[in-house]
Chains A and B, each alone.
Chain A
Amino acid sequence: MNMSGYSVTRPQRILLALAVVAIVAACGDDDAGSDESPPPEDTNTAGTGGGGTGGDGDEGSGKGEFTCGLGNGEQASGEPVKLGAIITSNPAADFRDVTNAAKGYFDCVNVNGGINGRPIEYTVENDDLDPAQAQSAASKLIERDGVVAIVGSTSIVDCPSNAAYYEEQGFNVIVAGVPQECFGSPNIAAINMGPHYSAQGAAEYAVREGATSLIAVTNNVPGAEYNNSSIETLAEQEGLPFESVLVETPISNAEALVLDLTGKAGEGGAIILTFTPPEGLAILQAAGSQGLIDDYIWASATPLNDSSVAEALGPEWDGNVGINAELVTLDSDGPDQTEYRAINEEFASDTPLGSFGQMGYLQAKILTTTLMEMDPADLDDPVAVNEAILQISDFETDILCKPWYYGELPVHIPNNWDRTVVPEGDNLVEVEDCFEITALDDALDTVREFEETQG
């Protein structure tokens, strides 16, 4: 019954639905064959068991073109070697790029002979920023799925929630670390140095640039003060005024925030940002909009070492923000960085090149190399696999400043040297080559002592 004099007829409904579909479809991919984006589902698998095809890539693509796996261009078959990861992937924090890149590497391995003929099955669980889900994911991966190693995890809650569990299970996990707990466990080693040390690296750059004060700014989430604490210690050591600013995100008025920050810093002062690209970009653009670039020193922790940031910042920022880079610049022509770009293009083309992708690639490569060197009979034994991971030492790569290692340590910070890059056009270029992060805390002292004993 139509009491109101107007009703939507079926053709009108269909027309409306078609209009919406048409607009969304207009933005669809033009290129045939590039429709396959990384699956948004919580679980994705590189390769298949039982001799299936090799992951997302077209069957046969990449075969024999890369040195991953056996590099023989043959499809791996047989029982898969099971690996897992836990990521945070929701609108507040999305680390899919890490596992997408790791999966790209494993896909490459699978179409190039696998781990001595066996494919890798890579299962990624999303904790959705929920500690309970992170705990469930870890026990699912280890106890139900039977993974033999965890690699590529990048989560805000995994390390705090599962560090004790990994220790109990004897798993030596390789991660891209975010919270403090990823750098303070005997059973977790990160490929990166994390926001705490990265922000310190950015502050050290600012001091070298002649900063008259240090203002450390990060988002107001539990544990965020830790990101700023090393900058406070550095400021005390350098005799500089310091202030820690925690900002609610999403930032609602970046221009007002920038006025406040520059007021606190004073002319010649340094503002050190630890934010994800969208928030960091908003602050930098607001500073540009208010003409507040030149009178201050701007620096940032690693998250802004992202090609999308360089593209989004205008020319006014060229050379004007020092971004800490825990990994080599994206356009470097070192062998691993070159291979990362090539594998990303072939096997993870929907994932942008960036620090997160580099971290995923490198973790996958380190673990693959370790598995390839093991006795094939031990590949299904988590004890043997995790013992092999513990013994990783002196893993040389041009992506990091120094060789990566695991080792028997109460804490792990194997990546503790870094670089500084600045935007230049649409790129980020290196302005400071590898430098040693100053040891301002006991953890870094412990690590440096260990490194000395290892030579």
Chain B
Amino acid sequence: MDTLTPFLVIGVAFGAVYAVSGVGLLVLYRTTGVINFAFGAIGAFGALIAWELINEREWGEWWAYAVCVIFAAVVTLAYGMLIAPRLADRDALVKAVGTLGFMLILFGIMFWRYDDDARTLVLPTTNWRFTIADTRVNGTQVLAIAIAIVVSVGTGVFLKVTKVGTAMRAIANDRSVTSMLGVPVRRIEVYAWLGNGVLCGVVGLLLSNLLRLDMVALTFLVISALAAALIGGLRSPTITFVAGMVIGVVESVLTNYDVVTDFRTMTPFVLAIVALLWAGRRRTIDIAGRAAG
């Protein structure tokens, strides 16, 4: 068997989750100007609640999964409606720090409520196993890839074709002008926060299967997802999708090479920096430090 193939196959599955998370971050950023650093923490919290409902409250699995997604949607929406509007006129850094603070609050609550015991949440799809190129693949990995494709393509089409999508793009270009043109900016932003929240919940469930149900690991997934979104220039769902897949595959394949295996966790950062340098190669900076061109 080619020793590289299993790493490629596994990498694609992980890349899919980075991709779907990256697209979620991108859509929210394009609409609200906010990078949601709490993305992973919200998903982790939802997944832990689902685990608790199934294992300690004896709820049915599907009800628990639904609660996970609803929780993530409501919490994200709550932030989007209660806190984000108060930061709407501040610069992007302040907005990002706002979500970073929200992430730390959620992280603290999770840490207080759930200790670091080993937990496992198994979606029914995880038990569907088959073999591709001598590598075992499960249904959740396939589901992650399918969701990544649907979300990426769907987002691209949605932004271009629908009225709400057009409004989102307009808000991304100039929030104040769009508002003066009569577009209900806050309502559109609420849609974006809600969509982002649903994705948080879905990604939380997927990752608790693909990675593990661990608040630390899931919370900091946002780094790889953000790298994918940055490579996509925080604009293109397609490039973000591809970038997520590439990060997942490169990170996985590097595991196979002892010389570089210790550095594989740097993959998202290195690729993001290279992409940013590449994107800015022809940009000139005027004397006031503003990018021109």
Q: Chain A interface (Cβ within 8 Å of chain B)? A: 2-8, 12-13, 16-17, 19-20, 23-24, 26-27, 30, 40, 90-92, 94, 96-97, 220, 246, 248, 250-257, 259-260, 263, 276-282, 285, 289-291, 306, 308-309, 311-312, 352
Known: A278-B217, A311-B118. 10 other contacts (CB 8 A): A8-B81, A90-B111, A91-B107, A94-B116, A251-B217, A252-B251, A253-B251, A253-B252, A281-B118, A308-B119
Cβ contacts under 8 Å, B184 to chain A: 4-6
Among A13, A97, A248: residue with most chain B CB under 10 A = A248
Instruction: Please report which residues of chain B, range 153-189, place their CB below 8 angstroms from some CB of chain A when the two chains form the complex.
Output: 176, 179-180, 182-187
Residue of A nearest to B75 (CB): A20
B47 to chain A, nearest CB (A): 12
A222 to chain B, nearest CB (A): 15
CB within 8 Å for A280 and B118 given contacts A4-B186, A19-B74, A23-B71? yes
Cβ contacts under 8 Å, A279 to chain B: 214
Contact A276 B6 (CB under 8 A): no
B238 within 8 Å of A by Cβ?
no
Contact B180 A256 (CB under 8 A): no
28 contacts between A and B (CB under 8 A): A2-B186, A3-B179, A3-B180, A5-B183, A5-B186, A6-B184, A6-B185, A8-B85, A16-B81, A26-B53, A91-B216, A250-B220, A251-B217, A252-B251, A253-B10, A253-B11, A253-B251, A255-B10, A256-B255, A259-B256, A260-B261, A276-B116, A278-B117, A278-B217, A282-B214, A289-B129, A306-B118, A309-B118
Contact B67 A26 (CB under 8 A): yes
- Give A2 to B180 CA distance when docked, in angstroms: 11
Contact A23 B3 (CB under 8 A): no
Contact A289 B136 (CB under 8 A): yes
A274 to chain B, nearest CB (A): 15
Contact B74 A16 (CB under 8 A): yes
Interface residue tally for chain B (C-beta within 8 Å): 60
- Give A4 to B88 CA distance when docked, in angstroms: 11
Contact B81 A13 (CB under 8 A): yes
- Give A19 to B212 CA distance when docked, in angstroms: 28
Residue of A nearest to B50 (CB): A27
Cβ contacts under 8 Å, A248 to chain B: 262, 265
Cβ contacts under 8 Å, B252 to chain A: 253, 255-256
Contact A256 B7 (CB under 8 A): yes
- Give A94 to B183 CA distance when docked, in angstroms: 49
Which label, helix, strand, loop or mixed, suits the secondary structure of the B interface? helix
- Give A248 to B217 CA distance when docked, in angstroms: 11
Contact B75 A277 (CB under 8 A): no
Contact A23 B212 (CB under 8 A): no
Cβ contacts under 8 Å, B67 to chain A: 23, 26
CB within 8 Å for A6 and B135 given contacts A277-B117, A281-B212? no
- Give A16 to B85 CA distance when docked, in angstroms: 15
Contact B82 A252 (CB under 8 A): no
Contact B211 A252 (CB under 8 A): yes
Contact B216 A308 (CB under 8 A): no
Contact B251 A8 (CB under 8 A): no
Contact A312 B78 (CB under 8 A): no
CB within 8 Å for A19 and B214 given contacts A256-B10, A277-B118, A281-B120? no
Contact B14 A253 (CB under 8 A): yes
Contact B261 A5 (CB under 8 A): no
- Give A285 to B217 CA distance when docked, in angstroms: 15
B217 to chain A, nearest CB (A): 4
Cβ contacts under 8 Å, B71 to chain A: 23
B190 within 8 Å of A by Cβ?
yes
Cβ contacts under 8 Å, A254 to chain B: 211-212
Contact B11 A91 (CB under 8 A): no
Residue of B nearest to A281 (CB): B118
A64 to chain B, nearest CB (A): 31
Cβ contacts under 8 Å, B78 to chain A: 16-17, 19-20
Contact B81 A12 (CB under 8 A): yes
B236 within 8 Å of A by Cβ?
no
Cβ contacts under 8 Å, A291 to chain B: 136
Contact A23 B116 (CB under 8 A): no
- Give A94 to B111 CA distance when docked, in angstroms: 9
